[in-house]
Amino acid sequence: QLQLVESGGGLVQPGGSLRLSCAASGFTLDYYTLGWFRQAPGKEREGISCISTSGGRSYYADSVKGRFTISRDNAKNMVYLQMNSLKPEDTAVYYCAADLRFTTVQAMCVMYRVGYWGQGTQVTVSS
């Protein structure tokens, strides 16, 4: 009954921008640490960015730091990932994730402590 649904993926040229959204149903995101992960074909899943329940703390992987920004809107039960200066190596399926608030942003993004996963949205960066 608990679902996370990603949207906003697509094809974009190198240097372009894209905004991913994730909507939750069946539970209230106020009580959850949230994050974004990605997986390219033949590659391991990578924790990209995670954010605390209030948005006060966040984590970014070195590969996206300075280019991506995570944010959340608890009133709308949504989490977002703004992606700027996109590179071909950013091409992957992007997943949103959630876990109870006792999980820290580092525990989620680095230690892969995740309770719920979305189905993913494809992002392709190509000229």
Q: Are 7 and 110 in contact (CB under 8 A)?
A: no
Q: How far apart are CA 127 and CA 124, in angstroms?
A: 10
Which amino acid is located at 69 in the chain? Answer: T
Per-residue pLDDT at 119: 96
Whether residue 1 has pLDDT greater than 80:
no
Per-residue pLDDT at 101: 87
Q: Are 20 and 36 in contact (CB under 8 A)?
A: yes
Give the β-pairing of 18-25 and 3-7.
Answer: antiparallel
Q: Are 79 and 110 in contact (CB under 8 A)?
A: no
Q: pLDDT tens digits, residue range 72-113?
A: 999 999 999 999 999 999 999 999 999 998 999 999 999 999
CA dihedral 47, 66, 82, 40 (to 10 degrees): -40
Name the average pLDDT for the chain. 96
Q: How far apart are CA 85 and CA 74, in angstroms?
A: 27
Per-residue pLDDT at 26: 87
Per-residue pLDDT at 9: 97
Comparing CA positions, the residue from 104, 96, 83, 115 lying closest to residue 39 is 96
Per-residue pLDDT at 27: 84
Q: Which residue has the tokens 């909507």?
A: 23
- pLDDT category of residue 53 using cuts at 50, 70 and 90: very high
The average pLDDT across 54-68 equals 97
Higher pLDDT, 5 or 27: 5
Q: Which residue has the tokens 């094809």?
A: 11
HSE, side-chain direction, 13 A CA sphere, residue 126: 7
Whether residue 17 has pLDDT greater than 90:
yes
The average pLDDT across 18-29 equals 93
